[in-house]
Structure 1
Amino acid sequence: MKNFMNEFKKFALRGNMLDMAIGVIIGGAFTGIVTSLTDNFINPILNFVTGGKIYTLQDIAGFASAFLSSLVNFFIMAFVLFCIMKAVNKLMSIGKKEDEVIPDKKICPFCKSEIHIEASRCPHCTSQLED
């Protein structure tokens, strides 16, 4: 059972999988904005232009309010997802160690210039180097 849970954790917390899930959720939230834009701005403008309906000031205020509400919902959803991703990234980095950098240069003890780590003679002062 423990092995199964470790495999599932490795699968679920892969970067591509989380990115795809965030994309689907943001896409769903953005659908609300597009729907609200269509229902609250485009359709009323078309109805008004074609003479299908006359809107009162209260109707227009209601349309604007509904659209602003969908915008606020989208930004709240985006902020929550941002916080979740930040927390997941923090949790993923806790167990990892920083990659140790293997030095590829050393300092010549005679002229203090930087030389390759495997050099047996300094190319600057031509001194013989000890290993």
Structure 2
Amino acid sequence: MFKEFKAFISKGNVLDLAVGVIIGSAFTTIVKSFTSNLINPLIGIFMGQMNLSSIVFSVGSAHFRVGSFINDVINFLIVAFVVFLIVRTYNKVSKRDTTPKDTKTDILLGEIRDLLSEQKNNK
């Protein structure tokens, strides 16, 4: 069982996933800081309130933290946009590399095909 676990952990996909999770966690911290320290004050200038997370409305004893929700939506949109940019860039790069190149064999076979087609049409 230990050998199977070692083989599983040694696979590149597992290590890539672990690195992705760690970097994603660090990136989330940066995005939260960006939202709290830069975006919220900017929005606060227009709303007259510097801390969006303090926006709360109450109905009876229930408290709805609208400002915290707005912060989370902003964080999500920033992360989603960055992931979109990364995927779009990756797709553009990978399309360039996967374009098949015609080999000598492909060129010769194409010429033979054309000659046979030409002979068939001339008969």
TM-score range, shorter chain: 0.3 to 0.5
Q: TM-score, normalised by structure 1?
A: 0.36
Rg larger in structure: 1
Q: TM-score, normalised by structure 2?
A: 0.38
